[in-house]
């Protein structure tokens, strides 16, 4: 009887994880391709198909760090049980549903973090204050970093003394250099769980002497080579046709951000089940990430097209250059968050980028009232999800105990 009850709890927790991943796939991965749709670089259905594949790939290759943070670093002194995981995921998904209904973006990172803190406290755990300070600091810096990077990017693209055959390829070169250094689960590394393309390519040649921060010369040279190659390829496209070249870069950039989105979002669905899969079932983390990837893939294919149509109309008004200015910081900050294991909201980053890019043109282009209401929603989400998560777990525990 006990084994049957445990099996039911495990099955319910996995289904809840799939549902949360589905919601994330349908709602949190649309911004990266919305600008490309608005610029007529790709159709809505094609974008939904590609988003699903790229986000699922990102979930499998990069989702582990944030999953571990959500599953084990938010509360001290207790481990998350299957019942607590179910309560936390249902709470987070409920807040996401409210955001969909009200048409104001509810950050999944805030909702999930708050919910898991709530259920952890309800289990009798202690607040992990060091983790909260780390998350809070990063979250407060996101609007500044995203807005500042978008402002700088938009300024470069708007300058008359910087031709577009230089400005756009320069951004592509920076993105290419960063891509060469993102950590991926499919790349082996003897000193880490995940390796980088730059490290993998330079390793057979010995890497060379070690420079600052433990980085070897070979990695630096491969990074520069990747940046130069990206610069050259995009420059050739832009020289052949400015508008076509820029739309092509926007499409590739959207794909990279969608991949990063999958890596940064899947942990919000899988994190609550980390203890269940690793400690109680004895399964490697890739199995859990695969479940989250399937949910994200299904959500993107089934639920993203309608949201893509709505958001693409907004991005069409922004224009391709300002859209690029919003997506470049989105990619950089998402990868930084993945490297640090910090759950983030891609919508938060993109919105800040849109505002920063708009300021470069003399106005933010976004309603001040909507900005204010959105920020209020974020703060209310973080606080109230703690309370709801705490209460929902208590209700579930009482119902099962009764």
User: According to the model, what pLDDT value does residue 167 have?
Assistant: 87
Q: Which phi and psi angles does 367 have, rounded to 5°?
A: -55, 130
Judge contact between 291 and 17, C-beta under 8 A.
yes
**Alpha-carbon gap, residue 26 to 93, rounded angstroms:** 12
Number of residues assigned to the chain: 402
User: According to the model, what pLDDT value does residue 31 have?
Assistant: 72
Q: Which helix (H) or strand (E) holds 81?
A: none
* Comparison of pLDDT for 402 and 360, the residue scoring more: 360
**Residues 295-325: pLDDT tens digits?**
999 988 887 777 776 666 666 566 777 788 8
**Alpha-carbon gap, residue 386 to 382, rounded angstroms:** 7
Q: Which phi and psi angles does 210 have, rounded to 5°?
A: -85, 130
User: According to the model, what pLDDT value does residue 3 have?
Assistant: 64
Judge contact between 48 and 27, C-beta under 8 A.
no
H-only helix segments in 123-194: 129-158, 164-179
Residue 299 structure tokens:
């959500």
**Alpha-carbon gap, residue 384 to 295, rounded angstroms:** 26
- Would you say residue 33 has pLDDT above 90? no
Q: Is 265 exposed, middle or buried (0-12, 13-18, 19+ CB in 10 A)?
A: buried
* Comparison of pLDDT for 331 and 281, the residue scoring more: 331
- Would you say residue 46 has pLDDT above 80? yes
- Would you say residue 280 has pLDDT above 60? yes
What residues does each domain of the chain span?
2-401
Confidence of residue 97 (pLDDT cuts 50, 70, 90): confident
Buried b (16+ CB within 10 A) or exposed e, 173-212: bbbbbbbbbbbbbebeeeeeebbbbbbbbbbeeebeeeee
What pTM was computed for the model? Answer: 0.88
DSSP string of 385-401, one letter each residue: HHHHHHHHHHHHHHHHH
Q: How many CB atoms lie within 10 A of CB 270?
A: 32
């Amino acid at each position: 009887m006990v084994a049957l009850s445990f099996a039911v709890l495990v099955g319910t927790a996995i289904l809840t994880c799939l549902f949360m991943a589905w919601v994330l796939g349908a709602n949190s991965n649309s911004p990266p391709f919305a600008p490309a749709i608005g610029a007529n670089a790709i159709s809505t259905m094609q974008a939904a198909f590609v988003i699903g594949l790229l986000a699922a790939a990102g979930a499998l290759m990069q989702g582990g760090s944030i999953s571990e943070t959500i599953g084990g670093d938010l509360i001290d002194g207790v481990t998350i049980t299957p019942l607590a995981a179910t309560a936390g995921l249902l709470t987070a998904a409920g807040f996401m549903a409210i955001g969909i209904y009200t048409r104001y973006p509810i950050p999944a990172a805030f909702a999930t973090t708050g919910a898991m803190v709530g259920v952890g406290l309800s289990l009798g755990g202690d607040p992990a204050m060091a983790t909260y300070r780390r998350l809070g600091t990063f979250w407060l810096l996101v609007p500044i970093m995203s807005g500042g990077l978008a402002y700088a990017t938009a300024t470069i693209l708007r300058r008359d003394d910087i031709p577009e055959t230089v400005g756009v390829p320069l951004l592509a070169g920076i993105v290419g250099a960063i891509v060469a250094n993102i950590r991926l689960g499919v790349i082996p590394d003897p000193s880490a769980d995940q390796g980088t393309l730059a490290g993998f390519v330079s390793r057979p040649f010995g890497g060379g002497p070690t420079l600052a921060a433990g980085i070897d010369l070979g990695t630096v040279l491969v990074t520069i080579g990747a940046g130069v190659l990206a610069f050259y390829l995009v420059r050739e496209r832009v020289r052949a046709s400015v508008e076509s070249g820029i739309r092509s870069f926007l499409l590739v950039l959207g794909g990279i951000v969608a991949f990063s989105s999958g890596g940064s979002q899947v942990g919000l669905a899988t994190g609550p089940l980390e203890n269940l899969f690793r400690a109680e079932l004895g399964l490697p983390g890739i199995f859990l990430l695969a479940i989250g990837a399937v949910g994200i893939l299904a959500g993107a294919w089934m639920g993203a097209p309608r949201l893509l149509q709505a958001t693409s109309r907004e991005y069409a008004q922004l224009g391709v250059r300002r859209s690029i200015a919003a997506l470049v910081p989105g990619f950089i900050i998402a990868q930084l968050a993945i490297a640090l294991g910090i759950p983030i909201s891609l919508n938060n980053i993109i919105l800040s980028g849109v505002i920063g890019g708009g300021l470069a043109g003399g106005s933010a282009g976004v309603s001040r009232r909507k900005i204010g209401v959105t920020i209020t929603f974020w703060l209310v989400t973080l606080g109230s999800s703690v309370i709801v998560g705490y209460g929902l777990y208590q209700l579930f525990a009482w119902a099962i105990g009764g």
